[in-house]
Amino acid sequence: MREEIKEILEAKIKELKDEGLNPDIILAGSDFLLYAGDVLVDYNLKIYEIEDLGYDAVIADSQTLGLMKKASRRISVDPFLKEKEKEVWKELRV
C-alpha cells in the first residue's frame, strides 16, 4: 500500500507542476495520516491535519488555493483499505 500511495502522490504533484503550480501543502485527514503519514515525510510539503477529511488528503498550491478551481488534487487511502479488507476475508474463508 505504501508504494501505491507514493506513486499516486507523485503523479498528483506532477499534474499540479505541469499546470504551472507549486504544490507546497497537504491537508490530510486523521485516518489518512494514520495509514500514509510516513510516506509524506519524503516530500517537502507542509502537512496540516484536517480531521473532517478522514481517509482523504488534498495536495495544493497554497498561493492559488481558493483562487483557481484546479489548484489542488484529492487522494484517498480508502480504496487500498477496501482491497486489503477483501484479501483478509478471502484468507479467512480458506
pTM of the full predicted structure?
0.79
Q: Do residues 53 and 36 touch, judged by C-beta distance below 8 A?
A: no
What pLDDT does residue 5 have? 87
Grid coordinates in use for 82? 477496501
37 pLDDT band, cuts 50/70/90, is confident
Give 79 or 25, the one with higher predicted confidence: 25
pLDDT tens for 44-70 read 899 999 999 999 999 999 999 888 888
Phi-psi region of 83 (alpha: psi -120 to 50; beta: other; left: phi over 0): alpha
Domains and CATH numbers, the chain: 2-93 (3.30.2320.10)
